[in-house]
Structure 1
Amino acid sequence: MSHADLFAVQALLGDSALPCRRAITGEHGISLPPFIDHHVHLHLIDEHLLAAGGIAGVVDLGGDPVELARREPDGMPRVAYAGAFLTTSDGYPWGRPWAPDAIVREVTDASRHPGVRGGARTAVDEQATFGASLIKLSLNAEFGPVFDPPTLAAIVTSAHERGLSVVAHVEGDGMTLLALDAGVDVLAHTPFTEVLDAQLIARAVSADQCWISTLDIHQGDSNAEATARANLAAFAAAGGRVFYGTDLGNGERPVGVIVRELAALHDCGLRGPDLIDALTDSWPGVDVSTAIATFVAGDAPATIDDIPEWLGGATVVPAEELIHDAH
């Protein structure tokens, strides 16, 4: 491959994109770093299909901490996890058919002392003890009560004292602002129940808050879809950091790279290298080592608009199987 051809490929996909061929099959294609879905629920999907579908690593944002701690750390997919949802009495997702009791913890006390029953610190400590890389909490005013500010602050402070990021499910009027005021680091979904003004988005970007996309879950709900897309486009344009995430397990969708999610991100302004960055960001420390890589067979996409569909052909391969073209 000539330098001009390599430059064209990397202009579309970023400097990590390299032409290559598979040693065993001889197929030519493009290699990229491992792809990560930053919002899944492993207990709701067949995770063994992920690698063939192009996903090497996942962030589980609501599962049984005991079962997650028992995982083989070097298995596929590579997993980082939050453990159980933290919520208030009768708060979301209690009672949802997809959320067994093992994946939910009730926090009823703002105590930051260890061992207090129902205490903020107790709930955080439990998830951390079982190997959580982050803490997930629910701020869903559409489907029940949410934490009062002191309890919310105690959860966030307790997590930060342990070096753990806090991710929040925000849904309902005022929930994005509540999360921002409390110092929540990441939103599990692009806000979809309220259009955020430019001042709030600027505050979120200035605070280094990150958003997980999950745009495709709103198929069939035109209001939620339009709201989420408007918010994400404004957040990205303001310099916000966005992670590719699908809420996989929510609805009947393919297990692997979801092209509709990528197309929605593209439409919101994350194009080319920015789209690849959203797919390959290792937050919050997903251990996708250099031993594995993404491979997309065939020629590179012809134009930037072709990239989302082209990425749907991704699969996970051992890095040692790829022979990179000389240039």
Structure 2
Amino acid sequence: MTVSAAWPVRRALTAEYGTALPAFVDHHVHLHLIDASTLSARGIAAVVDLGGDPVALARRARGLPRVSYAGAFLTAPGGYPQGRSWAPDATVRPVTDASRHPGVTGGARTAVDAQADAGASVIKVALHADAGPVVSDDVLVAIVAAAGERGLPVVAHAQGAGQVERAIEAGVAALAHTPFDAPLSRRALSRAVAAGQAWISTLDIHRGAAREQAITNLRAFAARGGRVLYGTDLGNGSLPVGLNRRELLALHDAGVRGDALVAALTDAWPHVEPTSAVSTFVPGPAPTDPDDLPTWLSRGTVVTTEELTRVD
């Protein structure tokens, strides 16, 4: 098969021949829950941390992998993920007021500003109605507006009856997880696609009916032209640190195949431009059978772009 973004290369340091692709991104990780030291060796050049201590994350935002982050979860008082053993106090920011004025205690603008001032590239809001209270519609709209004023997209953990639809209605730019707890209507799918909403896959965190529902929803979203981002929720359970072959196979099963699968891996979101200093190197040529592509991609590693010589 032909992969549009791939080109044949030779590695200068090892003289090994293979294929180069743009840098791969895991769009959903939690760095405080993992040892990130092997991510680059296992093919991940950049990560998006979607829930952590913004001060600690600011200290990690150099070197490889490139770290972008949301900072703390914005949530309702007592809402998800407050009180979880894996979510220290600094990773959660309760929002009690829809105020768009800076400096208001508990205000939406104040919470957004705190993450943006700490270097956040995206703002995350928790809409997990199955695990506690969620922010009101007024607060959600205010968070999206305040983030927009800072030039930042909003990503939501949307779970529970009506929460995906709320995220779409409020103009949330991305979903942290492919919806997995219920089928989505054709109207909701069409509206999400028309709004340009992106869905981060995180299919491999599920088993059984939730996994099948997520794959079904993602298949319908992708078939309508929806923007799909590779993401694993790394730190959530027993997931491989690095490229996750199971996630890639699940995306393939959901119809995100060939160039679309590569695009999900290499999308620079929440940035506009990808990192160009490094590339992905996969030994050997791209497979001729499209069904072999997920496994082949999972063998990638991160190398400096200047180390690669094109051999057309």
Indicate the TM-score class for this superposition, using the shorter chain for normalisation. over 0.9
Alignment of 1:45 with 2:6, yes or no, is: no
Q: CA RMSD in A?
A: 1.1
1:231 aligns with 2:217: yes
CA shift for structure 1 position 287: 6.6
Cα deviation code 1:55-89 (max 9, x no counterpart): 0001110010111112253x010011111000001
Superposed displacement of residue 157, structure 1? 0.9
The one-letter code sitting in structure 1 at the alignment partner of 2:15 is G
Q: Residue 50 of structure 2 aligns with which residue? A: 61
Q: TM-score, normalised by structure 2?
A: 0.98
Superposed CA deviations along residues 195-224 of structure 1, whole A, max 9, x for unmatched, are 0011110011111111101000003xx111
Is residue 268 from structure 1 mapped to residue 254 from structure 2 by the alignment?
yes
Partner-residue secondary structure (3-state), 1:257: coil
Question: What's the counterpart of residue 23 of structure 2?
Answer: 34
Kindly provide the amino acid, as one letter, of the partner of residue 42 in structure 2: G
Answering whether residue 190 of structure 2 is matched by residue 166 of structure 1, we say no
Give runs of aligned pairs for residues 1-327 of structure 1, distance below 5 A: 11=2, 13-14=3-4, 16-73=5-62, 75-219=63-207, 222-285=208-271, 288-326=274-312
List per-residue Cα deviations over 1:229-286 (Å, max 9, x = no partner).
1110000001100000000111111110001111111111111111000000001118
Q: Quick one: distance in 2 between partners of 1:72 and 1:267?
A: 34
Deviation at 1:289, TM superposition (A): 2.7
Give the deviation of 1:299 after TM superposition: 3.1
CA drift of 1:97 comes to 1.2
Q: Please, which moves more after superposition, 241-250 or 291-300? A: 291-300
Equivalent position SS for 1:52: coil
Q: Could you report, residue by residue, the CA deviation over 1:167-199 in whole angstroms, capped at 9, with x for unpaired residues?
A: 000111111011111111100000011100111
Task: Quote the Cα distance in structure 2 between the aligned partners of 1:171 and 1:17.
Answer: 37
Percent of paired sites with the same residue: 61
Query: What is the DSSP-based 3-state SS (H/G/I as helix, E as strand, rest coil) of the residue aligned with 1:211?
Result: strand
Q: In 1, are the aligned partners of 2:61 and 2:67 still within 8 Å (CA)?
A: no
**Take 2:247 and 2:60, find their aligned partners in 1: how far apart are those partners?**
28
Closer, same or farther: CA 286–99 of 1 in aligned 2, 3 Å = farther
Letter in 1 for 2:219: A
**Does the CA contact (< 8 Å) of 2:28 and 2:176 recur in 1?**
yes
CA distance in 1, matches of 2:187, 2:167: 15
How many angstroms apart in 2 are the aligned matches of 1:70 and 1:253? 25
Q: In structure 1, how many angstroms separate the alpha carbons of the residues matched to 2:305 and 2:272?
A: 17
So what's the TM-score if we normalise by structure 1? 0.93
Structure 2 residues not aligned, in runs of 5+: none
Aligned residue type for 1:262: L
Inter-partner Cα distance in structure 1 for 2:90 and 2:242: 26
* 8 Å CA contact retained: 2:61, 2:68: no
Separation in 2, partners of 1:294, 1:191:
29
Alpha-carbon separation, structure 2, partners of 1:299 and 1:159: 43
Separation in 2, partners of 1:322, 1:232 = 35
Q: How many residues align?
A: 312
Which runs of 5 or more structure 1 residues have no equivalent in the other structure? 1-7
Does the C-alpha gap of structure 1 residues 58 and 72 become closer, same or farther in structure 2, counting only changes over 3 Å?
Answer: closer
Q: Which runs of 4+ in 1 moved over 6 A?
A: none
